[in-house]
Amino acid sequence: MDRIRIRGGNRLTGAIPVSGAKNAALPLMIVSLLSPSTLTLSNVPRLADVRLLQRILQNHGIDIMVAGKRPGQTGMAGDVMHLTARQIAATTAPYELVSRMRASFWVLGPLLARCGEARVSLPGGCAIGTRPVDMHLMAMEKLGAEIEIENGYVVARARKGLRGAHIRFDKVSVGATHAALMAAVLAAGDTLIENAAAEPEIGDVAECLVKMGARIEGIHSPVLRVSGVTSLGGASHSVIPDRIETGTYAMCAGMTGGDVLLQNANAAHIGAVIDVMRQAGIDVEAVTGGIRVRRDGGPLQPVRVETAPFPAFPTDCQAQLMALMTMASGASFIRETIFENRFMHVQELARLGADIHLHGDTAEIRGVRKLTGAPVMATDLRASVSLVIAGLAAAGETTINRVYHLDRGFETLEEKLSACGADVTRLTG
């Protein structure tokens, strides 16, 4: 199994290209289920999760071409993906595939909208909390689906098709908003979605749907109004830059006292992260072509932060900020309000010398002067990249095991960091 070895202590200087957003690319690929015409996506990141979703969508009969080659053919790589769902070959998404990636559950809405039925495995346990799907099911029921749970599968039927409805979410959910939106675009009549997630990735999906012929108002806001259409056509769409990858590399630069240009990054998508980094004493500036991040020698200042839905500080940057704060000159407090069990990185950061105490949903991070390298274990996607951030500043060698977590969400991480002067190597086998 691959490992990543980091020899800490180097300042990062140079440029890092930000890839397309994983959390936009995945739902955009799923959108292709809604139309018999070709959806062409560009700026698709080359990630393990994208490859897994290709397999899931192929199982439903979608023809997928990436850079002119089909998955499995030699030389397939590239960031332009053509997806054509001329016919849906299967409306079942099996456990073996869905259990490996939670977002694949999101095929439920489009399959139901296009075919009037879907049988999708419940996603099952997840390392960062219970993550139920009750709000997804509520939205489908409001749109007229009958739902049963049979043998671990959600079986949804809408024999006469879906019809527009008023959907109000009690809690903000990215996945449930995607589900409601993707189903409502083909439902008969109007749908009002209130307390919708307003994450930039939802806006990106909505804009793509509009290019395909959907009628949606209120894009980028918490209230979405959809007027159903009978069919959707094809479109070409470029995936937005990954704001979580942006925030992550910004913290790598801040941690090492570096000076890095994050190419293609969109500052408007990470306003809350930028605010916190500035409070921490890091210079963050939107410049032509991206975002420049610098820290000139001064100490890192401690911060108090709470994760919350967009536009607040994202839970997907919480572990990375914690790593950064391990070396601040004082105590920081980070409260996690989205996922109850998202502190698994704490024990691993402690192995590098971090001083972190958990008080319920809040972590108190007492800054230390020095971290020292050690073997550590990646536990989930964002937790594992927090170990990279700490490892970049730790004296000596840090080896991160189970890097398949990183490969799910970070494209060529070691190449991007090495190009800026970090000593990061992938040890294969």
Asked if 131 is part of the footprint of ligand UD1 (rule: CB under 6 A), the reply reads: yes
Asked if 176 is part of the footprint of ligand UD1 (rule: CB under 6 A), the reply reads: yes
Residue nearest to ligand UD1 (CB): 175
Residue number with CB closer to ligand UD1 (128 or 187): 128
Handedness of CA 384, 387, 391, 392 (dihedral sign): positive
Partners of 39 in the β-ladder: 83, 235
Asked if 102 is part of the footprint of ligand UD1 (rule: CB under 6 A), the reply reads: yes
The minimum distance between CB 129 and ligand UD1, in angstroms, equals: 6
Residue number with CB closer to ligand UD1 (315 or 386): 315
Asked if 136 is part of the footprint of ligand UD1 (rule: CB under 6 A), the reply reads: yes
Asked if 171 is part of the footprint of ligand UD1 (rule: CB under 6 A), the reply reads: yes
The minimum distance between CB 206 and ligand UD1, in angstroms, equals: 14
Q: Residue 368 half-sphere exposure, CB side, CA atoms within 13 Å?
A: 20
Interacting span for ligand UD1 (CB under 6 A) from 6-14, 36-44, 127-135, 273-281: 127-135
The beta-strand segments (E) located in 152-234 are 153-157, 166-168, 190-194, 215-217, 224-227
The minimum distance between CB 76 and ligand UD1, in angstroms, equals: 23
Residue number with CB closer to ligand UD1 (187 or 244): 244
Asked if 348 is part of the footprint of ligand UD1 (rule: CB under 6 A), the reply reads: no
Q: How far apart are CA 380 and CA 119, in angstroms?
A: 28
* Active-site annotation holds for 420: no
Name the maximum alpha-carbon separation found in the chain. Answer: 65
Total interface residues for ligand UD1 by CB under 6 A: 21
Residue number with CB closer to ligand UD1 (6 or 174): 174
User: Looking at 115, 126, 252, 420, which residue is catalytic?
Assistant: 126
> Which 3-state string (H, E, C) describes 307-374?
ECCCCCECHHHHHHHHHHHCCCCCEEEEECCCCCCCCCHHHHHHHCCCEEEEECCEEEEECCCCCECC
Residue number with CB closer to ligand UD1 (23 or 195): 23
- If one counts every other C-beta atom within 10 angstroms of the C-beta of residue 127, the result is 14
Asked if 198 is part of the footprint of ligand UD1 (rule: CB under 6 A), the reply reads: no
Query: Binder to ligand UD1 among 28, 81, 111, 135 (CB under 6 A)?
Result: 135
The minimum distance between CB 386 and ligand UD1, in angstroms, equals: 14
Asked if 174 is part of the footprint of ligand UD1 (rule: CB under 6 A), the reply reads: yes
- If one counts every other C-beta atom within 10 angstroms of the C-beta of residue 421, the result is 15
Asked if 133 is part of the footprint of ligand UD1 (rule: CB under 6 A), the reply reads: yes
The beta-strand segments (E) located in 200-257 are 215-217, 224-227, 235-238
Q: Is the peptide bond before 311 cis (omega within 30 degrees of 0)?
A: yes
Interacting span for ligand UD1 (CB under 6 A) from 169-177, 205-213, 230-238, 412-420: 169-177
Q: Give the tokens for residue 167.
A: 């959907």
Asked if 50 is part of the footprint of ligand UD1 (rule: CB under 6 A), the reply reads: no
Of 204, 241, 201, 239, residue with least CA distance to 16 = 241
Q: How far apart are CA 386 and CA 369, in angstroms?
A: 18
Asked if 175 is part of the footprint of ligand UD1 (rule: CB under 6 A), the reply reads: yes
- Round the CA-based radius of gyration of the chain to a whole number and report it: 22
Which residues here bind ligand UD1, judged by CB under 6 A?
A: 23, 26, 102-103, 129, 131-136, 171, 173-176, 201, 315-316, 338-339
Which residues are marked as active site? 126
